[in-house]
Amino acid sequence: MKKKLFAILMTTAMITSLTACGQKENSADPTPPSVSDTKQEDRPTSELSGEPLSSDDEKITLRFSWWGGDARHEATLAAIEAYQKSHPNITIEPEYSSFSGYYEKLVTQLASGNAPDFFQVDQGWVAELYARGDAFADFKNYGDVIDLTTIPDSMMIDYCTIDDQAVVLPLGYNGTVFLYNRTLLADWCDDSGNLDIKTWGDFNRIGNELHEKDPEAYMTTAITDGYLRFILKPMLEQITGKIDVQDDFTLGFTEEEMSQAFDSFLTIFTENTSQPYEEAVLYDTMQNNPLWLKGKIGGIFLFFSNIDTEIAGLPYDYGVAGMPMFADSQLSGQECCPSLMVAVNKNTDTAHQIASAEFLDWFLNSEEAALILGTVRGVPGSEKALATLEENHVLSDLMTQGVRISNNTLSLKNGAYELNSSVKAVFVEYMEKAIYGVLSPQEASKGMVADLEKVLANLEGN
C-alpha cells in the first residue's frame, strides 16, 4: 500500500507543467472546448449519453456546497461570479457553512434526493459515501469536458478512484511539516537558521533545554487533533511501517507496537518538550494560544497550507523542517494527501452533471480560477493550478519550502477508514487516558486495539 512520495509526483508534475505547455498536447486545441464556445455541429458529446454536452440557449442552475472559513467563502464566491460572467447560461447557487454539521446535512440531502449538484467532501468520508451507492457520479464519464490528466496518477489511484470509478477529485493537497520559531530557537539553529531535528531524540533534547532556559517556553504544542494526527500516529507508523487502519478493516499494528508508540509519545510531556496537554487543548487554534502569540512555543506540526495563517501578524522569524523520526525508521509517518475533495451528485440529470463537470474543469485547472482561489483549499491538486501559483509567486517562501520538504519525505497513503469519525474517537479516547495516567501505555494499547476491532467489524458489516 506504500504510495510514491508526492516529491516524485509533484516534481514530475512541475516538470510536466513546464513542458506540457508546448506538449499537452498532441491535439490542436490544448484544452477541452468550452461547451458555450462551441458550435452545435462541433459540440462534443457525452461519453455517458452520446448527446451534445449542453446548449448556449439552455439555462442551467447548479447548486454547489462547501464548508470553510470566511477566506474560503469569499474566494469561492468570487470564482463563481467570474465563471458566470463568461457562462451567462449557467447560474451557480452557493451553499456554504462551517464544518460543524456539514456531513450530517449532506447525508440527509443524499437520502432525500435533494443533494447539491456538486459538493465538497472530506477525504475521510469518501469510502463511506461511496458505499451508500447514492452519492458519486463517475468523472470518467465526462473526460471530454474535464481534464483528469492534471491530477498526478498516484493521487488519482490512491485517493480518487474506487472500483475503477473516478468518484472524487482533489481540490487541494497537504503535507505535514514542522514550522519553527527561529527567534526563540536561535541558540539551536545554525548560521543559516536551520534547525536540526532529524530524530525524536533531537526534538526532546532541544525541548528540554529550551524549557530549562525559559520555564514558560516549550518546544511544541497542539490541539487534540494535532497531537493525534501529527505526533502519535506518525510515531506509530514509523514503528510499524504500515498504515494504522488497513483498507481490509484490519489494524496495521499490534498491542505491543501501540504500547511502544505511547511510551515515545508520552516523553514529549514528561521531558517538558510540549506544553502540558490540559493547557494546550483549551485553545482551538494556535492564534488563540497565548504562548504561541507571545513567541514562547518553539514550533508546531501542521499542514503546509496553514503556515501563513498560523503566523499572520506575528513579529517572529520562522523556518520549516521535516518530521523527526526514530533512528531505525524508514517512513516518516507524515501525511501527504488531498486536503479536500469534490464530487458530482450521481442523481442529478445528465445535463446538470455535464455542466457541473465543465465548471469543475475551470475551477480546478484554469489560470483564472487558480489566481482567485489561491490556497484557500490547500496547495492545488491540479498540476496546472500549482504551476500558475508558482509562476505568479502566490505561494509564500515558507509554504514553498514546506511543499518541497513534504514532497521529499517518504510517506504512506491514508487508509480509506483512517479518518473515520468512530475510528478517530477511539484513538482520542485512549490517547487521553494514557496522557492523564488513567491507563498505562500497555493498558491503553490493549483497550484501543479491542475497541478499534469492534468499530472496524461494524464498519465492514455495514
Q: Which of 234, 226, 232, 126 is nearest to 171 (CA)?
A: 126
- Are 455 and 422 in contact, with CB atoms under 8 Å apart? yes
Backbone φ and ψ for 105, nearest 5 degrees, come out as -65, -45
pTM over 0.75: no
The predicted pLDDT at position 224 comes to 94
- Using pLDDT thresholds of 50, 70 and 90, give the confidence band for residue 121: very high
Least confident of 171-175, 225-229, 256-260: 171-175
The predicted pLDDT at position 29 comes to 32
The predicted pLDDT at position 147 comes to 96
- pLDDT for 263-320, tens place per residue? 999 999 999 999 999 999 999 899 999 999 999 999 999 999 889 989 999 999 999 9
Q: Is the pLDDT assigned to residue 15 strictly greater than 80?
A: no
Q: Is the pLDDT assigned to residue 109 strictly greater than 80?
A: yes
Cell of 270: 514528561
Rounded to the nearest 10 degrees, the angle between the axes of helix 233-240 and helix 255-270 is: 130
- Using pLDDT thresholds of 50, 70 and 90, give the confidence band for residue 418: confident
Once rounded to an integer, what is the mean pLDDT over residues 386-408?
89
The predicted pLDDT at position 82 comes to 98
Beta bridge partners of 297: 218
Q: Is the pLDDT assigned to residue 407 strictly greater than 80?
A: no
The predicted pLDDT at position 18 comes to 29
Q: Is the pLDDT assigned to residue 122 strictly greater than 50?
A: yes
Once rounded to an integer, what is the mean pLDDT over residues 162-190?
95
The sign one gets for the Cα dihedral 256, 257, 258, 259 is positive
CA gap 12, 158 in Å, rounded: 17
390 contacts: CB under 8 Å, gap ≥ 6: 14, 400
- Using pLDDT thresholds of 50, 70 and 90, give the confidence band for residue 410: low
Q: Which of 22, 10, 9, 48 is nearest to 145 (CA)?
A: 48
Q: Is the pLDDT assigned to residue 409 strictly greater than 90?
A: no
Least confident of 56-60, 82-86, 107-111, 157-161: 56-60
Residue type, 2: K
- Are 84 and 181 in contact, with CB atoms under 8 Å apart? no
256 contacts: CB under 8 Å, gap ≥ 6: 445
- Using pLDDT thresholds of 50, 70 and 90, give the confidence band for residue 262: very high
The predicted pLDDT at position 91 comes to 98
- Using pLDDT thresholds of 50, 70 and 90, give the confidence band for residue 157: confident
- Using pLDDT thresholds of 50, 70 and 90, give the confidence band for residue 365: very high
Q: Is the pLDDT assigned to residue 14 strictly greater than 70?
A: no
Q: SS3 of 295, please? A: coil
Q: Looking at 286-420, list the stretches that DSSP marks H as alpha helix, in order from N- to C-terminal side.
A: 290-293, 307-310, 350-365, 367-373, 383-391, 397-407
Mean pLDDT for the chain overall: 87
- Are 142 and 48 in contact, with CB atoms under 8 Å apart? yes
- Using pLDDT thresholds of 50, 70 and 90, give the confidence band for residue 193: very high
- pLDDT for 320-361, tens place per residue? 999 999 999 988 888 878 889 999 999 999 999 999 999 999
Q: Is the pLDDT assigned to residue 64 strictly greater than 90?
A: yes
- pLDDT for 215-244, tens place per residue? 999 999 999 999 999 999 999 999 999 999
CA gap 394, 367 in Å, rounded: 12
The predicted pLDDT at position 57 comes to 60
Once rounded to an integer, what is the mean pLDDT over residues 362-384?
94
The predicted pLDDT at position 28 comes to 30
